[in-house]
Structure 1
Amino acid sequence: MASSRAAQRYAKALLDLAEERNNQEAINKDIRDIHKTLEASGELRSVLKSPVIDVNAKVNSLKAIFKSVSEDVKNLFSVLANNNRIAELNLVTKKYIELYDEKNNVKVALVTTAEALTPAIEAKLLAKVKSLTGSEVTIKNKIDESILGGFILRIGDQQYDASIQGKLNTLRTRFKNKAHV
């Protein structure tokens, strides 16, 4: 819990700094790229959490991996390292994205599919969801083969289940309740 609050504070401080320096878009892009990389690389997350690896080596590695990010983001690496919080970089980036999206009224649509969305389908879905919600939307694709096909769309507390598994469950319930008679 304490680390979550600390991550929230670092994320808020970076968001405030980005706003103050009027480079929110650049920092947002950098943070999203870092978060995506950290989510995809368990090895990098392990390196950041390792007590055996020197903190300076961790910071230098991050700066080498993310050499194109802004100086403010590179400074975040150093600040986290100096405060023994470098292992929480993934959580800080996640909190930053949440704060940025909330501040800019960007909704996150979680789309669960049996396999990865193609760029064409993602673009169509994004356009449809934007028209339904009337606000900016980002799509996060979650793969769950157990839904068999179709998709489950969740935005906030609303959910639309168009999965084959959902339809089968509905039929199963109707047959149990003898709604077919």
Structure 2
Amino acid sequence: MEGLKIAARYAQSLIELAEEKQNTDAVLEDMKYLLSTTNDNNDFHLFLNSPLIKPNKKKEVFDKLFGGFQKETLSFIQLLTKNSREMILPLIAEEFIAKLNVIRGIIPMTLTSAVKLEESVKASILAKLNEKIEGSIELTEIVDESLIGGFVVRMGDTRIDASIAHQLNEMKQRLIR
């Protein structure tokens, strides 16, 4: 919990810096890349959290790995490393993206379906959801064959499960009772 509060403060500071330098979109791309690198690579996650690796060695790795980042992003990562806060980089990236989405009125939504949905079906689902919410939707699509059919929508804490797998599970639970 404490790490999340610290991450939120750092994320807010980075947003303010990026807005001041007028390169918020580029820093956002840096944060998305950093987050995907951390999520996709367990070794990198272990590297961030290792107390055995010296800060100057971590700075070298960051410079090589993230050399194409914005100057502000690199300086920010170096500051975190200097303050021994590099282990919360993924949390900061998540907070940065979430806070920027709120500022911009963007609502991240994940649409999971058993097969790739046709554009007309996607448009219909998005139209219904747009009636209920304020802001613009940033859509991420996932195909999960275990749903059998239908779809699952996730927006923040809201989950709409219209999958066949869910309906079959509901029937099974009713029969067991």
Query: What range is the shorter-chain TM-score in?
Result: 0.7 to 0.9
1:145-164 to 2 correspondences below 5 Å:
147-164=147-164
1:139 aligned partner: 139
Give the paired residue count.
Answer: 173
CA distance in structure 1 between the aligned counterparts of 2:125 and 2:69, rounded to whole angstroms: 31
Q: Structure 2 stretches of 5 or more lacking a match?
A: none
Q: Given residue 41 of structure 1, which amino acid in structure 2 is its aligned partner? A: N
With over 3 angstroms needed to count, the CA separation of the structure-2 counterparts of 1:161 and 1:173, relative to structure 1, is same
Q: Deviations over 1:42-84 (max 9, x none)?
A: 1101011111111111122112111111000001111101111
Matching residue of 1:30: 30
The TM-score, its normalising length taken from structure 2, stands at 0.82
CA distance in 1, matches of 2:13, 2:118: 33
Question: Once superposed, what is the RMSD of the aligned Cα atoms?
Answer: 2.8
1:72 corresponds to: 72
Residue type of the alignment partner of 1:37: T
Provide closer, same or farther for how the CA distance between residues 69 and 157 of structure 1 changes in structure 2, counting only shifts above 3 A.
same
Q: 1:97 to 1:124 in 2, by over 3 A?
A: farther
Contact kept in structure 2, 1:113 and 1:143, CA below 8 Å: yes
- 1:1-181 aligned at under 5 Å gives the runs 1-113=1-113, 121=117, 127-128=123-124, 130-131=126-127, 132-133=129-130, 135-140=135-140, 147-172=147-172
* Secondary structure at the counterpart of residue 48 of structure 2: helix
For structure 1, the 5+ residue unaligned runs are none
% identical aligned pairs: 28
1:138-174 Cα shifts (integer Å, max 9, x gaps): 2345676754443211223443212121121343466
Encode CA deviations 1:95-133: one digit per residue, 9 max, x unaligned: 11111111111101133456xx76xx4977765555432
